[in-house]
Structure 1
Amino acid sequence: MSLVKRIRDISVATLNDKIENAEDPVRFIDKYLQTQKRKLTELEKLYQQTLTHAHSVKQQFMEAESNRIKRENQAEVAVKAGEEQLAKLILLEKMQSEEKSEQYRLLYEDGKQTILELEEQIQNLKDEVQELVDKRAFYEAKIESIRLQKQLNQVNRFIEKQNYYDQSRSIDQKFSELEMQTNALREVRSNDTKTGSSFGGKLQSEVDAQFQQLKKKLEKER
C-alpha cells in the first residue's frame, strides 16, 4: 500500500467521524466538497504543467542522446581517416552530450515519477469526491426520511387527539341525553302526582256529597 493510499484511508476515517458528528451533515459535506473540488482543479492544472515540462525535458534528453550518437559516429570516421586530433575533439563533444543526456534522462525519470504520483492523487481525490457525493445523497435521503417520519408522527398524534375529542363529545352527549331523560321522567312524575292529587280531591268531594244525600234520604224515610 502506497503512502498516499494510507494517508487517504486515515483522512477518510477522520472525515467520516466528522460527518457523523456534524449538526448538519449535508451542509458539512457541501462545504468540504467545495474545498476538495478546488484542490482537484489545482492538481489537474499542476498535472498538465508537469506533463508539459516532462515533454520538454524528454525532448532535451532525446536531443542530447542524438548528439551523443552522432558524435560517436563522427569520432569513428575521424579515427578511420587518421585524424586523431579531430577524433579527440569529437569525442570530447560526445562526452559532453553524454553527460547532458544523462542529466536530462534523470530529470525525465523524476518527472515521470511526479506524474505517476499526481495521477494517483488525482484519482484518489476523484474517488473521494464521488464518495462524498454519494454520501451526501444518502444523508439527504436519510434526513428526508426522518422529516417524513416526524410528519407521520404528528399526523398520528393529531388523529389520536381527534379520536379523544370525538370520544369525549360522544360521552358528553350520552350524559346529556341521560340527563334530559331523567329530567323528563322527573317532570312526568311530578305532573302525575299533581294530577293524582287533584283527581283525589274531586273524588272525595263527590263521595262526601253523595254521603250527605244518602243521610238525608234515610232521615226522611223514618
Structure 2
Amino acid sequence: MGIIQRFADIMSANINALLDRAEDPAKMIDQYLRNLESDLGKVKAETASVMADATRAKRELDECSAEVAKMQSYAEKAIVAGNEADAKQFLMKKNQLVQKQAALQQASDIAQANAVKMRQMHDKLVNDISSLNARRDTIKAKVAAAKAQEKINQIGSSVSGAADSLSAFDRMEAKAEKMLDQANAMAELNNSSSADPVEDLAAKYDAAPDSDVDAELAALKAKMGLQ
C-alpha cells in the first residue's frame, strides 16, 4: 500500500508552520490551497479504490464463511441420513474452506485497516481545505495591513530625514549670522583704530579757548598765590 506511505505526511501537515516560513503568506496560502486540492483529488481516488478493495475482501470472506457453514450443514445432514462417507467428504471440503477463510480474514483485516487510514487522510484534507478557505481572507487582510504599516514606517523615516535636514539648515543659518556679526565687529574695530592719535591731540589744542574758563583759572591761581 504505497499510497498510505505517500500521503502519510498529510496526516501531520502543519499549515501554520508552512505560512510562518513563507515570505509572502498571501501567495503561499493560495499555493497551499491549490496543492491541497490536487492532493485531495488523488486521495479521493485512492480512498475509493482502497475502500472498494476492503468491500471486496469482506464479501469474499463472507462468501467463504457461508460455504463453511453450508459444508457443516451438509455433513450433519449426511450423518443423520447414515451416510458417513458423504459426511466425510463435506467435512474435508469444510476444512479446505476454513484454511481459505483464515487467509481471507487476514486479507480483509488489512484491507479494512487501510480503508480506515485512507478515509482519515481524506477527511483531514477536506477539513484542512475548509479551514484554510475560511481563514484565507483574514490572513490576506493581515498581510495587507502589515504592508501598509511598512509603507507608513518608510514614510515616517523620510519625514524624520527631512526634519534632520531642516535642523542642519538652521545650524548653517546660525553659523552664517555669527560670521556676519564677527565681520561687522571687525569692521568697527578697523574703523576705530585707523585714526592718528597725534591728530586727535592737535585737534584738542586747535579748539577755541573758553574765556570764562581762562578767567576763572587766573583768579584761582591768584588766590592760591601761584601767580
Shared fold, TM over 0.5: yes
Q: Which residue of 1 aligns with 2:72?
A: 72
**Residues of 2 paired with 1:99 and 1:151: CA distance?**
76
* Alpha-carbon offset, residue 58 of structure 1: 1.7
**Residues of 2 paired with 1:69 and 1:118: CA distance?**
33
Q: Which residue of 2 aligns with 1:125?
A: 125
Once the two structures are superposed, the pairs formed by residues 65-144 of structure 1 within 5 Å of their partners are 65-144=65-144
Normalising by structure 2, we get a TM-score of: 0.57
**Residues of 1 paired with 2:118 and 2:154: CA distance?**
53
**Residues of 1 paired with 2:21 and 2:51: CA distance?**
41
Count of matched residue pairs = 154
In the alignment, structure 1 segments of 5+ residues that lack a partner are: 1-5, 162-222
**Residues of 2 paired with 1:75 and 1:48: CA distance?**
40
Normalising by structure 1, we get a TM-score of: 0.58
Give deviations 1:98-144, integer Å, cap 9, x for gaps: 22222222222222211111121112222222333234322211133
**Residues of 1 paired with 2:153 and 2:115: CA distance?**
56
Task: Determine which structure has the larger helix proportion and give its number.
Answer: 1
Q: Which residue of 1 aligns with 2:145?
A: 145
Which has the higher mean CA deviation after the structures are superposed, 32-41 or 15-24?
15-24
**Residues of 1 paired with 2:96 and 2:109: CA distance?**
20
Q: Which residue of 1 aligns with 2:49?
A: 49
Amino acid of the structure 1 residue aligned with 2:59: Q
* Alpha-carbon offset, residue 154 of structure 1: 9.7
Once the two structures are superposed, the pairs formed by residues 188-203 of structure 1 within 5 Å of their partners are none
**Residues of 2 paired with 1:45 and 1:10: CA distance?**
20
**Residues of 2 paired with 1:9 and 1:79: CA distance?**
56
- The 1:82–1:136 alpha-carbon spacing in structure 2 relative to 1, beyond 3 Å, is same
* Alpha-carbon offset, residue 11 of structure 1: 3.5
In the alignment, structure 2 segments of 5+ residues that lack a partner are: 1-7, 157-161, 163-227
Three-state SS of the structure 2 residue aligned to 1:23 is coil
- The 1:155–1:33 alpha-carbon spacing in structure 2 relative to 1, beyond 3 Å, is same
**Residues of 1 paired with 2:101 and 2:12: CA distance?**
41
Q: Which residue of 2 aligns with 1:165?
A: none
* Alpha-carbon offset, residue 153 of structure 1: 8.3
* Alpha-carbon offset, residue 155 of structure 1: 10
**Residues of 2 paired with 1:60 and 1:10: CA distance?**
34
**Residues of 2 paired with 1:80 and 1:9: CA distance?**
58
**Residues of 2 paired with 1:19 and 1:100: CA distance?**
52
**Residues of 2 paired with 1:38 and 1:48: CA distance?**
16
Three-state SS of the structure 2 residue aligned to 1:112 is helix
Amino acid of the structure 2 residue aligned with 1:138: T
**Residues of 2 paired with 1:37 and 1:112: CA distance?**
25
- The 1:73–1:136 alpha-carbon spacing in structure 2 relative to 1, beyond 3 Å, is same
**Residues of 2 paired with 1:150 and 1:87: CA distance?**
89
